[in-house]
Structure 1
Amino acid sequence: MRLETEVPVVQVTVSGGGMTQSVVVQVGQCGNQIGCRFWDLALKEHATVNKAVLIDMEEGVVNEILKGPLRDLFDNKQLITDVSGSGNNWAVGHKLYGSQYREQIVENLRRTAEHCDCLQCFFVIHSMGGGTGSGLGTFVLNVLEDEFPEVYRIVASVYPSAEDDVVISPYNSVLAMRELTEHADCVLPIENQSLVDIVNKIDQMAYSGKLGSVKRNSLVTSNKGGVKESEKPFDAMNNIVANLLLNLTSSSRFEGSLNMDLSEISMNLVPFPHLHYLTSSLTPLYTLADVNVPTRRLDQMFSDAFSKDHQLIRADPKHSLYLACALMVRGNVQMSDLRRNIERLKPSLQFVSWNQEGWKTSLCSVPPVGHSHSLLALANNTCVKPTFIELRDRFNKIYKKKAHLHHYLQVDGMEQSCFSEAISSLSSLIEEYNQLDASKGLHIPDPPRLNIAV
């Protein structure tokens, strides 16, 4: 998963088979690479192909996609291109390109949404560290709120690691965080470093033989989805996020005894409006690889979902406070299996006193290709707080020196107050999590100074 450097891209696609319920908005090079992997995997589960609209501020990435194996997915007539870039600058993506391309973005969003039979949700996929993903990505989020206020907005946001080579990525990430907190219904934070750790773990398991036999050109090791040969490691990381989206949308794409509408995610997992950051975990991890493996015990799959080794951010939810949790299961799993495992795991998990039964479950009868079952767990858990604290510390380290601010302030409409307001928003968010953590073990009806979402 590579943060975009100078190549802004926005891609809008229709998701679904049968009753189409959602639109996927892919922003920036990172978002489009993940999107390519998502559609590649989705096509293995469907025989249908949907249209897509691409908006590219530099033709390179779009041209590469159109020459790749997914070229038939996209309509050449629905392209908006430019020859410039965002230069890793949130202000350029949000203020400059946002205002410049707003009308065209709205037009393409509306045209794409018209293909949905029952539009419930927009998925926005973007990175936080670069200029286009963070800037134009959050601008698109604002547009969605303005133009489709009744449609839920779920965002998959890829956060840069502390070793990121873009020195101003903390600026971009914190500026984007304010927009996500104010304008998203749900955010699925994903850390680059966590993806690296998972890919390394899969590789170790593959080479040690613990995964059984690994087919030649497996999804873990091959370059697919329009990614260059030199970017194969990022393709493996993109597979993880693509598989997250595949599981997240499975209920709207296939039949199931207990399918979950996409709108139910926000309604059931977000009790407070700003605390809508959901940690995600996938199990088995090797559903992302093209491997021959023996079927593991079903109960182990549920245990793995709560293990820190399966989280898409570096966090241990078992040692933090749960507000709510959703289990989205695919394959040959019965409701009795779900209930049994929830009862088995509950004693080891800390739920807030006022939502001890805060579980949402979903059963989709169609498993991922090549596997008998899989599980996506979404948790509203205070374990996201360390990620935000680390980001705030990295921001303050460069902001106290006012380093690189002139790159932002020279963009029309960008003022220094945008930085102070953004870091204040992030600090307020962290404080809300602090208040929840302080309530551990206390039987109180509501944490203080928090308003329950209605």
Structure 2
Amino acid sequence: MTQSIVVQVGQCGNQVGCRFWDLALREHAHVNKKGVYDEALGSFFRNVDSRGAGTCDIVGGRIHRLKARAVLVDMEEGVVNQIVQGPLRDLFDTTQLLTDVSGSGNNWAVGHMTYGSAYRDQIVEKVRRAAEHCDCLQCFFLIHSMGGGTGSGLGTRVLGLLEEEFPEVCRIVTSVYPSDEDDVITSPYNSVLAMRELTQHADCVLPVENQSLVEILTRVRLMSRAPGPGLKTDLLSNPGGGPEKPFDSMNNIIANLLLNLTSSARFEGCLNMDLNEISMNLVPFPRLHYLVPSLAPLHSLQAPCSMAPRRPDQMFSDAFSKDHQLIRADPRRSLYLACALLGRGDLLLSDLRRNIHRLRSSLSFVPWNPEGWKTSLCSVAPVAHAHSLLALANNTCVKGTFSALRDRYNRLYRKKAHLHHYLQEDGMELSLFSQASESLSSLIEEYDQLDHASASCPPDAPRLQIAT
């Protein structure tokens, strides 16, 4: 049995993580009616019942003998305190938490340099302690935002520590990118400085844009007002009940992304995918490990409703449309290096094969990997829904997000605005800004080269033959 550990850093990382644990428990309670601690639960939870294997009361959100395989880090106490005082308080203990009181002041250098150095040993100790409870540690999931100081700075410092201490364990990062009109004026600095660390130390990065989440929510709510059977929205914003908090609806989308991504690790299926296979099959070049996620159908983000579920074929088409991408991009107009389809519920192998055959003619793949598909089927659907689909595209369309970020960074850097706040931190040098900018430009150029090489390659060019 393999296990994974979730590392949540910063306000955004902990809010998204909290939603993931809430929804994951609900899925396990729905499937595991007797609450028996089994292999599925063991993938992300450990049993602390001194009597050994037994039952775990997870029905109704109550957890008595389960602990999440997680480490929660934030340099402000607010969000973590809300978690440990809320419905999931029994899921974590103090050995899994690390907080400060002052925060990082929206400054990557404070998070990465100052707090990263001050709390290095404590972070390593907490991660090691979580790893010691695993029989076979397979993957770290890091959740953080790019715009703030703790998420971008300390989050990427933690990522480097994971590589340093556990070099053989896969590192999958979910990074939330700020919108163009982000209220943190220094977010372009923080994001570009963090990008260099993600490119160097992550195995896979799932970029999610705040603006894309807002647009998805707008479409979902328009669907709920459409004539005919409507969509109920009570679970869209807050599956745990209670008053809605800022960004709850957006966090719920990211949590559903993680639920679909980890479904094969948590439940059985006719075509389960090992988490290590994601990077093995989707990342042909080490630096080009940014995988654009999309979810379908959108109504699976909602409460059970009277709306007829989308037909499987329509759901596959939706997953490749720009309206379902978690970044603002259209992968069908760009080049695919590889693509994964992770299905859940009543989907069949024939559904996967039929739709891949149907869609492939409209998608552009690199000439040397025309069969670059990875597929997975998990038999357990999201609670109260028939099926769902997560697509992960290693696609050159991601360079649009990176180019827009670089432009915002350059506009700020040309004025040398706010640089003194960064340079006053120990270990922070002006050269780090130029190195981060060059790293991002180099990444964009690598995607450009793939686009140009593919455009100049004739359709009948000989393909690489692999000896068997």
What TM-score does the superposition give when structure 2 sets the normalisation length? 0.87
CA shift at 1:364, angstroms? 0.6
Q: How does 1:227-376 map to 2 (within 5 A)?
A: 229-231=244-246, 234-292=247-305, 293-376=307-390
Residues 1:420 and 2:434 are matched in the alignment: yes
CA shift at 1:118, angstroms? 2.1
Please provide the CA RMSD for this pair: 1.7
Q: Which residue of 2 aligns with 1:55?
A: 73
Q: String of CA shifts for 1:356-380, please: whole Å, max 9, x gaps.
A: 0000000111111011111000000
Q: Which residue of 2 aligns with 1:159?
A: 177
Please give the alpha-carbon distance, in whole angstroms, between the structure 2 residues aligned to 1:436 and 1:210. Answer: 46
Please give the alpha-carbon distance, in whole angstroms, between the structure 1 residues aligned to 2:120 and 2:228. Answer: 50
For the Cα contact (< 8 Å) 2:335–2:451, is it kept in 1?
Answer: yes
Amino acid in the other structure paired with 1:45: E
Q: String of CA shifts for 1:180-224, please: whole Å, max 9, x gaps.
A: 001101111100000000011111111225663416xx1224474
Amino acid in the other structure paired with 2:26: K
Percent identity, aligned pairs only, is 73
Q: Which residue of 1 aligns with 2:141?
A: 123
Please give the alpha-carbon distance, in whole angstroms, between the structure 1 residues aligned to 2:272 and 2:79. Answer: 36
Matched position secondary structure for 1:214 = coil
Residues 1:429 and 2:429 are matched in the alignment: no
Q: Which residue of 1 aligns with 2:400?
A: 386
Amino acid in the other structure paired with 2:131: A
Q: Which residue of 2 aligns with 1:206?
A: 224
Please give the alpha-carbon distance, in whole angstroms, between the structure 2 residues aligned to 1:346 and 1:442. Answer: 20
Q: Which residue of 2 aligns with 1:190?
A: 208
Matched position secondary structure for 1:172 = helix
Please give the alpha-carbon distance, in whole angstroms, between the structure 1 residues aligned to 2:181 and 2:368. Answer: 39
Please give the alpha-carbon distance, in whole angstroms, between the structure 2 residues aligned to 1:284 and 1:44. Answer: 20
For the Cα contact (< 8 Å) 2:237–2:252, is it kept in 1?
Answer: no
Q: Which residue of 2 aligns with 1:109?
A: 127
For the Cα contact (< 8 Å) 2:238–2:252, is it kept in 1?
Answer: no
CA shift at 1:114, angstroms? 2.1
Amino acid in the other structure paired with 1:54: L
For the Cα contact (< 8 Å) 2:67–2:90, is it kept in 1?
Answer: no
For the Cα contact (< 8 Å) 2:15–2:79, is it kept in 1?
Answer: no
Please give the alpha-carbon distance, in whole angstroms, between the structure 1 residues aligned to 2:188 and 2:291. Answer: 21
Q: String of CA shifts for 1:80-101, please: whole Å, max 9, x gaps.
A: 3322110000000000000111
CA shift at 1:285, angstroms? 1.1
Matched position secondary structure for 1:44 = helix
Change (3 A) 1:43 1:359: same
Please give the alpha-carbon distance, in whole angstroms, between the structure 2 residues aligned to 1:199 and 1:249. Answer: 23
Change (3 A) 1:223 1:121: closer
Question: How many residues of Structure 1 are paired with residues of Structure 2 in the alignment?
Answer: 422
Q: How does 1:127-142 map to 2 (within 5 A)?
A: 127-142=145-160
For the Cα contact (< 8 Å) 1:258–1:362, is it kept in 2?
Answer: yes
Q: Quick check: 294-303 or 162-171, which moved more?
A: 294-303
Please give the alpha-carbon distance, in whole angstroms, between the structure 1 residues aligned to 2:229 and 2:359. Answer: 26
CA shift at 1:288, angstroms? 1.1
Where in structure 1 are there 5+ consecutive unaligned residues? 1-18, 446-454
Please give the alpha-carbon distance, in whole angstroms, between the structure 2 residues aligned to 1:263 and 1:284. Answer: 26
Please give the alpha-carbon distance, in whole angstroms, between the structure 1 residues aligned to 2:433 and 2:229. Answer: 47
Q: Which residue of 2 aligns with 1:10?
A: none
Amino acid in the other structure paired with 1:141: L
Amino acid in the other structure paired with 1:281: S
Q: Which residue of 2 aligns with 1:43?
A: 25
Change (3 A) 1:441 1:398: closer
Amino acid in the other structure paired with 1:322: Y
Amino acid in the other structure paired with 1:316: D
Amino acid in the other structure paired with 1:256: G
Matched position secondary structure for 1:291 = coil
Please give the alpha-carbon distance, in whole angstroms, between the structure 2 residues aligned to 1:139 and 1:98. Answer: 6
Change (3 A) 1:210 1:278: farther
CA shift at 1:441, angstroms? 3.8
Change (3 A) 1:264 1:416: same
Q: Which residue of 1 aligns with 2:192?
A: 174
Matched position secondary structure for 1:353 = coil
What TM-score does the superposition give when structure 1 sets the normalisation length? 0.90
For the Cα contact (< 8 Å) 2:74–2:150, is it kept in 1?
Answer: no
For the Cα contact (< 8 Å) 2:319–2:391, is it kept in 1?
Answer: yes
Q: String of CA shifts for 1:423-448, please: whole Å, max 9, x gaps.
A: 00000001001101102344389xxx
Amino acid in the other structure paired with 1:25: V
Structure 1 stretches (4+) deviating beyond 4 angstroms?
none
Q: String of CA shifts for 1:142-169, please: whole Å, max 9, x gaps.
A: 0000000001111100000110011110
Change (3 A) 1:189 1:129: same
Matched position secondary structure for 1:411 = coil
Please give the alpha-carbon distance, in whole angstroms, between the structure 1 residues aligned to 2:99 and 2:232. Answer: 40
CA shift at 1:291, angstroms? 3.0
Change (3 A) 1:78 1:26: closer
CA shift at 1:69, angstroms? 1.6
Q: Which residue of 2 aligns with 1:64?
A: 82
CA shift at 1:262, angstroms? 0.3
Please give the alpha-carbon distance, in whole angstroms, between the structure 2 residues aligned to 1:178 and 1:382. Answer: 18
Please give the alpha-carbon distance, in whole angstroms, between the structure 2 residues aligned to 1:285 and 1:73. Answer: 29
From 15, 18, 25, the equivalent of 2:7 is: 25
Change (3 A) 1:201 1:261: same
Change (3 A) 1:209 1:237: farther
Amino acid in the other structure paired with 1:198: I
Q: How does 1:75-86 map to 2 (within 5 A)?
A: 75-86=93-104
Amino acid in the other structure paired with 2:12: C
Please give the alpha-carbon distance, in whole angstroms, between the structure 2 residues aligned to 1:53 and 1:179. Answer: 20
For the Cα contact (< 8 Å) 1:70–1:225, is it kept in 2?
Answer: no
Please give the alpha-carbon distance, in whole angstroms, between the structure 1 residues aligned to 2:148 and 2:349. Answer: 43
